[in-house]
Amino acid sequence: MITLTDNAASKVKELLAAEGAEDLALRVAVRPGGCSGFSYEMFFDGDVAADDEQARFGPDDAVRVIVDAQSAQLLAGATLDYKDGLDQSGFAITNPNATRTCGCGQSFS
C-alpha cells in the first residue's frame, strides 16, 4: 500500500473540497504502459471493490486512499508526496520497487 505524506494528503483534501466531493477517495493504480513498462494513475473514485486495499491519511484521517490488489503489490513501500516550489511542483511517487524510471517520473519498471 502506498503512503501519503502530510503535504500530499493536504493537497488531496484541498482538491476534493474544490470539487465538492469529500465523499470520494483517491485511487492510486499501476497500469501497463508508459515508456518504462508501467505507469501511475491517480483519480478520485467512489467505487470500492471487495479486494481493494484502503487507508486514511492526513492529520485528521480525512483523505481515503484505495488501491486495487494488483497495484498494491507494485506500490508496497511507495510514498506519494506533493511539492509546490520553484524547481518542483506537483505530485511525485517514490517507489522502492521501481528498478528503472523514465525522465518524466510517470512510468517505471
The answer to whether the CB of 73 falls within 8 A of the CB of 95 is no
> Higher-confidence residue: 33 or 34?
33
Residue whose C-alpha cell reads 511539492 in the numeric block = 83
The predicted structure's pLDDT at residue 32: 83
The answer to whether the CB of 75 falls within 8 A of the CB of 97 is yes
One-letter identity of residue 22: E
HSE-up of residue 63 (Cα within 13 Å, Cβ side): 26
pTM of this prediction?
Answer: 0.84
E-only strand ranges, 5-106: 25-32, 38-45, 53-57, 63-67, 79-84, 89-94
Residue whose C-alpha cell reads 471487495 in the numeric block = 50
Of 11-15, 28-32, 50-54, which gets the smallest average pLDDT?
28-32
The answer to whether the CB of 63 falls within 8 A of the CB of 4 is yes
The predicted structure's pLDDT at residue 65: 97
Among residues 42, 49, 87, the alpha carbon closest in space to that of 69 is found at 49
Domain annotation for the chain: domains and CATH numbers: 3-103 (2.60.300.12)
